[in-house]
Amino acid sequence: VGGGRAAATSSVYMHVLALPLLAPAGGVRCCAPRACAAEALQAELRYAFSLSSAACSAFEDLAGGAAAAGVPAVATAGRFKLLAHDALSSALKQARAPLDAAAVAVRDDGSLTAELDLLVGGAVVGLRLAGSLSAAPDAAPLRLVLDSFEWFEPSEEFGVSRQIAMARERLDGALEGLKPYEAAIEVAFASDALLLCRD
């Protein structure tokens, strides 16, 4: 769940999610130019988590085209891979816990879990955020609420208690201060492979 929009208000954030296991409701179809633009944006963002000026432009082009055509209803339940979120990525870098990977799961009842892999002290530690994502019956923005967090050892990492302690020292205060975190998320573009959102 994007980054500060280039040359725009700092309160607007872009979010880019890949949807490898979930197609939006209605079977969205893109014309060839938009499909190619979405593929190019997805390729550029792989393992980046942040938006370059070129990626911001691609984001705006896709969002502008979608606004003209009408953004379809999107099924919110499923598993998502986070490709970019500039604000989150920047904050974690400043805290010396850069983002290495992130996955989001939304269940049918709207409950949400986001698992972040963070690089701390030469090892990967896990941060699990929990909350909910709810959609209004009309075209209103989605409502995201994050109200709890916990640290865990990723399955491929063992004996990282020291790194988890370091991560807690760097991030627990900020995380506690954000509870609960609430945001209205606007879907700006949707295809069978890519979801672009703003809050």
Tell me whether strands 111-120 and 123-134 are parallel, antiparallel or unpaired.
antiparallel
Q: Bigger pLDDT: 61 or 143?
A: 143
Gap between the Cα atoms of 20 and 54, Å rounded: 24
> What are the tokens at 28?
């969205």
Instruction: Write b or e for each residue in 82-97: b if 16 or more Cβ atoms lie within 10 A of its Cβ, otherwise e.
Output: bbbbbbbbbebeebeb
Q: Residue 58 above 70 pLDDT? A: yes
Mind listing the pLDDT tens digit for each residue in 137-167?
Answer: 665 678 889 999 999 998 765 788 999 999 9
Q: Both tokens of residue 29?
A: 């179809």
pLDDT of residue 6: 31
Tens of pLDDT, residues 87-141 = 788 889 999 999 888 888 889 898 999 999 999 999 999 999 999 988 766 656 7
Structure tokens, 83 = 């490709």
d(CA 18, CA 194): 5
DSSP assignment of 146-161 equals EEEEEEE--TT--S-H
Residue 67 pLDDT exceeds 80: no
Give strand pairing partners of 152: 126
CB contact burial 173-183 (16+ within 10 A = b; e otherwise): eebeeeeeeeb
47: phi > 0 → left, psi -120 to 50 → alpha, else beta; which? Answer: left
Structure tokens at 43: 């390729």
Whole-number Å distance between alpha carbons of 197 and 183: 12
| Cα-trace Rg, the chain | 17
Pairing of strands 14-18, 123-134: unpaired
Query: Of 61-65, 150-154, 188-192, which has the strongest mean pLDDT?
Result: 150-154
The pLDDT of residue 157: 58
